[in-house]
Amino acid sequence: MRIEQDIRQECSGFNTEKVETGVEHLMSAYPHNRLVKHLAENCALTYHCPAARNYFMGRWECPVPASPACNANCVGCISLQPDEETIVSTQDRLKFKPSVEEIVEFTVPHLKTAPFPLISFGQGCEGEPLLMWETIEKAIIEIRKHTDKGSININTNGSKPDAVKRLCEAGLNSIRVSTNSARREIYMPYYRPNNYEFEDIIESLKIVDSFGGWTSINYFVFPGMTDSIAEYEALRKLIKETNLKMIQWRNFNIDPDWYLGKIGVADTGEFMGVNQLLQEIRDEFPDLKYGYFNPPMERIKGNYELDFAH
């Protein structure tokens, strides 16, 4: 089912010629910027990442990879799999730590000129951005010296609430915390975190909410488990506890037998069907938004139905 009316990553909206022209133009505008080079050569031209292609077409959400390292060992990680694993990662991870200057150089012009502008730290081609929070904090402060336009977002595992607080103080506008479950016992064996707990991700959402920021979860939907009665009750609790603004319902693109085997689940229990789950949550939390993308500032401020196509 379609969960998001936003057209920003529809195949028909991309023009290869415009992407290539944008790459040429921006690579020559920032000849020494390793991040722009990474986004161009790896993300846009090799992997055809929709977010990177949109950046080079001068519109909407601009990806800002910041961290080569991660503090989780997710079973289904798309950028790093152990050598002994038979399933390989779909892309290579960022291999360097960007500087504050590299981040600021290309994000400020994007925020100033793009329609419905948004920059996002934390991408599929990197590790965990909160491990680079000092760099991100300095970058946000510097960006806001140049422009107050647009929204600054972080896609994260939410593992470092103290770092999240510092980023909010610097000017972070929104957070999207990824999770396969609202239950600790399902989360931990999938994320296999180093030095953080499930409770930390809840705390990070609460902190952003306390600053008046936009909070989403990047929720991996696995039919039969996500719509189980136990998960439904845990999700309701999470929404209430964090005052969650949005659920980005995302198809959990993973082999079901491999996944259940890896996290050690034999019986997922009674379930209600995904349609019913969506309806039940909507009935109870009518203000909670459903979607797939991080909202730009215009949506955060209340114009949620804006049309990206016009």
Q: pTM for the complete prediction?
A: 0.95
Q: Which residues of 119-149 are buried (b: 16+ CB within 10 A; e: fewer)?
A: bbbbbbbbbbbbbbbebbbbbbebbeeeeee
* Terminal-to-terminal C-alpha distance of the chain: 24
- In single-letter form, the type of residue at position 233 comes to E
Res 124: pLDDT: 81
| Whole-angstrom distance, CA of residue 77 vs CA of residue 82 | 10
- Residues of the chain by 3-state class (helix, strand, coil), percent to 5: 45, 15, 45
| pLDDT (tens digit per residue) in 104-146 | 999 999 999 999 999 999 988 899 999 999 999 999 999 999 9
Give me the pLDDT at residue 238, please.
Answer: 98
How do residues 55-106 score in pLDDT, each as one tens digit? 999 999 999 999 999 999 888 877 777 778 778 888 888 999 999 999 999 9
Q: Which of 79-93, 200-214, 233-247, 287-301 has the lowest mean pLDDT?
A: 79-93
Give the C-alpha separation, 308 to 294, whole Å. Answer: 13
The answer as to CATH 3.40.50.740 being correct for domain 11-300 is no
